[in-house]
Structure 1
């Protein structure tokens, strides 16, 4: 793949299983996909705290400075370092949370979010305020499970179904999966909620392809 034509998808945590899940979620684009998925080896095991969120900003910027790409996707659903990375390159830089929220708002007036841990809520609400759409958030429910549990094919399913049903009860018309570790659980959440569920890897992938399409 030509480095100038690729879309570099950067997982800012160091989890191998999470990175594999992101890559699997992007496989749906098939021949259209020009994605290269990498992880930040020096990153934390997951972006759980504000300290984690801030700690990856400079490593993300350095990676983007080293790696030429047509576009970059920050593959964490708290969008860490987004503004700083955008200041580092003239290429498009997409955050998965903002991409997923934009997709959710094409499906419903109000949406809910299944969050990673309780501490993620403040970061995601900050992003919603920046987008001017916090009033469209119907509910936010954390799973509070470790990353390696989230990426297991079965272990988090009961908790995911409970969260999806709780958000449906708030009046949400769509649900955003608020962590890339949930990429393999789209169908379980959709079946439980009976609502459209937005998977952020796919949402950001589609927007990155659009951003790099020939004019």
Structure 2
């Protein structure tokens, strides 16, 4: 007599959050604060706890104490243009979290290429900032339930431990229908350490299609 098989839960990868070594990006509108023209520096906000729609559903980045690992930004952080690792336009002087948002002070370089982006940012032509990050720990919140801290209603996936690795000034957020500061992306791929082909494909697809949709 064959054993009774228990029904299997759906494990469709299209509904699962990303795993380690996968990379994500999200955009925000670029709010210039404390412009110091002499130093060519800005203070900006690069992340919040606003729900963000992914292929697996609603994603929320926790900004509670200890949730964000800002060590990489504070130790070797650079400011990029359109997530292109070959277009370094400045440095990240300081990154911190406060009142459920993450902020950074950035300084633009004074070479010709960086100056073009700096002038367009200062003039308000470029108004979006995007952060690239990875997530180490998730909390899955079912429909009708609340997150462990009681602040987020399901269904959603809360990133409990995550690390931003770069901040970019971006020219065109991919999904214009939901306002400046949003981006729709395809499901991320596994990325081996030192493999930058993901970034190259992302930049090429953004150029060809104005953004990636699922």
Q: Please, what TM-score do these two structures have when normalized by structure 2?
A: 0.29
Which has the larger Rg?
2
Q: Please, what TM-score do these two structures have when normalized by structure 1?
A: 0.29
Higher normalized strand content (fraction of residues): 2
